[in-house]
Amino acid sequence: MNETNELAEARALFDDPPAPTPEVIAAARARLTEGDPVRSHRTRRLRVERRTAWLTTFALGLAGTVTAAAVTIAMVDHRGVREPHGHPSARALLLAAAQRAEAASPATGRYWHLTIRGDELIQVGKPGHATYQVYAPTRSEIWMSADGHGPTWEKSQDLGAKPATKADWDTWRDEGAPTTFRGTDTGDEISSKPGRSHIDRIKPGYEDLFGQRLTPQDVQALPADPGRLKMTLTRLIRRQSSRVTDEQLFTWSSTVLSYSPASPKVRAATYRMLAGLPGVKKLGTVTDQAGRTGTAVTINAGIDDQASTYGTRLIIDPSTGRALATETVMTGEGGSAPGTAGLEQVAMSNVILRTGWTNKAPSGR
């Protein structure tokens, strides 16, 4: 099937995804229990940086206090663990997004400006009392100098944690409706009230993106050809890992699409590169943590120490080709112990509220 025909299919591809098959989950568990060591680029600790919203992708070198982790996911090699049937619809959706992204007009400015909301699902409760879940949201706004050397600022705020589901609200009321929560993992105190916003001057550049410090100019110089871009990302990822998986490429590609000042042509190349990854599946229409609807694609992220499986997904606005959010979602519930996330529940997310170039520095700096 050629690209034109696949693009024509894109609008008819919003049905629900199939549930993970028992074979997929069993294979993942087997690889873990047989003692196969984790060979991916890192063991991912699902944490939230309280003063930054770059939760699952890369760090800007910002200071922050780490709260309780939702789960620990050991990244598993995807060979032999994929769904038996491919979903060409994911390819069509990504190619359509590439067309829209490429049609955007290039822009410039003194600062790359981002506003991001991060949400983490955290299990809370006092010792000897009932446990329940809360979402702990943060909001971060970044002004990064275009040359990667000038002043860069971050404005951040904790937005106040709230029970995650109706059942969690009921438990919260039974526990006396506390205004602060205590994480069961670390004992950290989490407030239900919004904190004060503050602005700090921070170190410019992408400190840990692909294992090296990159400036916005470096990101803009990424190849605009899908094949060359994949080779470049693979080479950069190998600085952190001796082995590159589809999940790693999916994660770093989501980084480029969601947070970086990549040009329209590089964004288009990134979508086309993702369209060529066999592990990427489509989910159809979903709603992000900000209440916006978009089209999601996903890839298996691995299993945790409770034998639950997780997926990493990228939510796209199909009308513009812009990335709306990245999320980590439980796709298969393990049975060895109660976990923080429930089946199909978002364990962690980053919602991209605004990205673009500006000449205006933040006020109050």
In a domain, 81, yes or no: yes
Domain count for the chain, please give it: 1
**In 10 A of CB 77, how many CB atoms?**
17
Six token digits for residue 340? 């923080």
In a domain, 177, yes or no: yes
In a domain, 364, yes or no: no
In a domain, 120, yes or no: yes
In a domain, 348, yes or no: yes
Q: What is the pLDDT of residue 91?
A: 92
Contact 90, 297 (CB under 8 A): yes
Q: What global pTM score does this model have?
A: 0.74
Q: Can you point out the beta strands (E) in the chain? A: 44-45, 72-74, 111-124, 132-145, 152-158, 162-163, 180-182, 189-191, 198-202, 281-287, 293-304, 309-317, 322-332, 346-358
Write out the residue range of the structural domain in which residue 130 sits: 3-358
Q: How far is CA 98 from CA 9, 93, 258, 335, 361, in A?
A: 15, 9, 14, 40, 31
Q: What is the pLDDT of residue 358?
A: 93
In a domain, 59, yes or no: yes
Q: What is the pLDDT of residue 219?
A: 81
Six token digits for residue 74? 């050991």
Six token digits for residue 1? 């099937």
pLDDT (tens place) for every residue of the chain, 365 residues total: 554 444 444 333 333 334 444 444 444 333 333 333 222 222 222 333 333 333 333 333 222 222 223 333 333 333 222 333 444 489 999 999 999 999 998 888 999 899 999 999 999 999 889 999 999 999 999 998 887 777 888 999 999 999 999 999 999 999 999 999 999 988 899 999 999 999 988 776 655 555 556 667 778 789 999 999 999 888 888 877 778 889 989 988 998 899 888 899 999 999 999 999 988 999 889 999 999 999 999 998 888 777 788 899 999 998 899 999 999 988 887 765 555 677 788 989 999 999 999 999 888 66
Nearest to 339 by CA among 25, 67, 28, 70: 70
In a domain, 363, yes or no: no
Six token digits for residue 212? 């090296």
Q: What is the pLDDT of residue 259?
A: 86
Nearest to 355 by CA among 216, 213, 202: 216
Q: What is the pLDDT of residue 205?
A: 61
Q: What is the pLDDT of residue 344?
A: 81
In a domain, 365, yes or no: no
Q: What is the pLDDT of residue 140?
A: 93
Phi, psi of 136 (to 5 degrees): -110, 100
**Would residue 113 be called left, alpha or beta, if left means φ above 0 and alpha means ψ between -120 and 50 degrees?**
beta
